[in-house]
Structure 1
């Protein structure tokens, strides 16, 4: 009996540590991207990527811990790669407050993730109506199958935002099957790119990296996988939202041909809220012209 009590206390203590430490301490990861197509005016241009907040609260002071972490990275722009909110959680004010804080100092570019896309499902529509009304009234640049040029002087780099259909997101706790994208999907949505210019793509899911490469993206920023939730040293992430163990893409920098993808571990979680060796993350990317 005493041994059972000790084991129970030990398990509860471990779970508490996993929740309080692994989920509450934000890491920063920095990458440097070299490409001869980056204009010299964009040398040392700093992008901070935020992803998969899922209504996460890091402190009782309007997420000041997260804001301070972002500010410490001295970004030129901020890219948000989806899932600021959690699909069935009505507390959208956390995401809206974060946007309010960020747009005071920075240009913020944003795409929606699969959780925001649940607004397309009839039974969830009423939850999102007010959220999107408020979100789109704010001073952010929403990149829903759209493109913009980011200028410094007369030079620019191109930014695209791609929305992957909700049917392409299978879940552990659902009966849906993954729908594959047709080869022409990205170009059909975003058009043909100028391969002589530097082209960045915001895409919530990394699992279509090959499609992004074929289209011609130089730099892809993605999230969705939460780093695999549990990370085993020298092996990688264990769990994927795509109902698979040890996913091909879980976290970090991937390269294929002349394209690079940065995959963010994200900040919060959905359904599975623990993290092990997989702390929340904010990413800074520094561009370098050759």
Structure 2
């Protein structure tokens, strides 16, 4: 850890000790985690067919159900997503917080089933999905809910004789990501969106014909302070923490979603949960 990072975290820790108390503590624990932000973005490219103008994709991520995020809260989130009338829904990992201790039941499947998108529902593994021997359990739940897994694979989304490519890789931390395999036989000239749970993987993605990478994992840091920013992010979410990032090497654009739930600590401060609403434009 260099001097700058040490000072940043030390000052942030002191601010947390003296500042997160009373009303601030209540706000960070019980108010902000329920304040959903709907972040709208336009994805414009000459590679997008005219037929896809206005095509709407919704990304949600990191629900971490079971750790201070209930099925009732998740059900309300599903209603909000459906209210946006998406054409396509993507989930970028970490469904429940601890798969090996979570009380799995059909209610979660029924809530996930309610999500509606005419062109499908897709998902990728996050590190918590693989953790605690949850790999097969989570896949079984998502399969029953009508979600299609993109694990080092891709699919072509076709609309009025036009197409875009949607690819996904396995989790970087606990899986075996292979972007080369994911894009095998994909049309390199087609507009391509990659789902990758860990945002820092973008430094590898720039070597491939990918236009947009959608990630989560970071939670935006969960707790952020003015002039200081986030205090902590997990491995592979330390370089790109939230928001939009562009790469000139191959015109890649990365969007890092702050996620829905919390993990480790049940707080959010100046870092609201969010969903992304993307509209394509030729």
The two structures have a TM-score, normalised by structure 1, of: 0.79
Deviation at 1:84, TM superposition (A): 1.1
Sort the Cα spacing of 1:30 and 1:235 in 2 relative to 1 into closer, same or farther, 3 A.
Answer: farther
1:250 maps to which residue?
241
- The question of 1:117 aligning with 2:130 is answered yes
Q: Select between 191-200 and 74-83 the one with higher mean Cα deviation.
A: 191-200
Q: Distance in 1 between matches of 2:169 and 2:247?
A: 19
Sort the Cα spacing of 1:96 and 1:239 in 2 relative to 1 into closer, same or farther, 3 A.
Answer: farther
Deviation at 1:208, TM superposition (A): 1.3
Taking the TM superposition and a 5 Å limit, the aligned residue runs for 1:210-221 are 210-221=203-214
- The question of 1:73 aligning with 2:84 is answered yes
1:287 maps to which residue?
280
Taking the TM superposition and a 5 Å limit, the aligned residue runs for 1:20-35 are 20-35=30-45
Q: Give SS of 1:116's match.
A: helix
1:171 maps to which residue?
none
Sort the Cα spacing of 1:117 and 1:153 in 2 relative to 1 into closer, same or farther, 3 A.
Answer: same
- The question of 1:135 aligning with 2:142 is answered yes
Contiguous gaps of at least 5 residues in structure 2: 1-17
Taking the TM superposition and a 5 Å limit, the aligned residue runs for 1:133-282 are 133-167=140-174, 185-191=178-184, 193-233=186-226, 236-242=229-235, 247-257=238-248, 258-282=251-275
Picking from 98, 121, 126, the partner of 2:111 is 98
Deviations 1:50-77 (A, max 9, x none): 1000106767746342123212322111
Q: Distance in 2 between matches of 1:27 and 1:53?
A: 14
Q: Select between 48-57 and 202-211 the one with higher mean Cα deviation.
A: 48-57
Structure 1 contact 51–266 (Cα < 8 Å) conserved: yes
Contiguous gaps of at least 5 residues in structure 1: 1-7, 119-123, 169-178
Structure 1 contact 24–58 (Cα < 8 Å) conserved: no
Deviation at 1:235, TM superposition (A): 5.4
Q: Distance in 2 between matches of 1:269 and 1:95?
A: 18
The two structures have a TM-score, normalised by structure 2, of: 0.81
The CA RMSD measured in Å over matched residues stands at 2.9
Q: Give SS of 1:208's match.
A: helix
Q: Give SS of 1:195's match.
A: coil
Q: Give SS of 1:215's match.
A: coil
Deviation at 1:262, TM superposition (A): 1.1
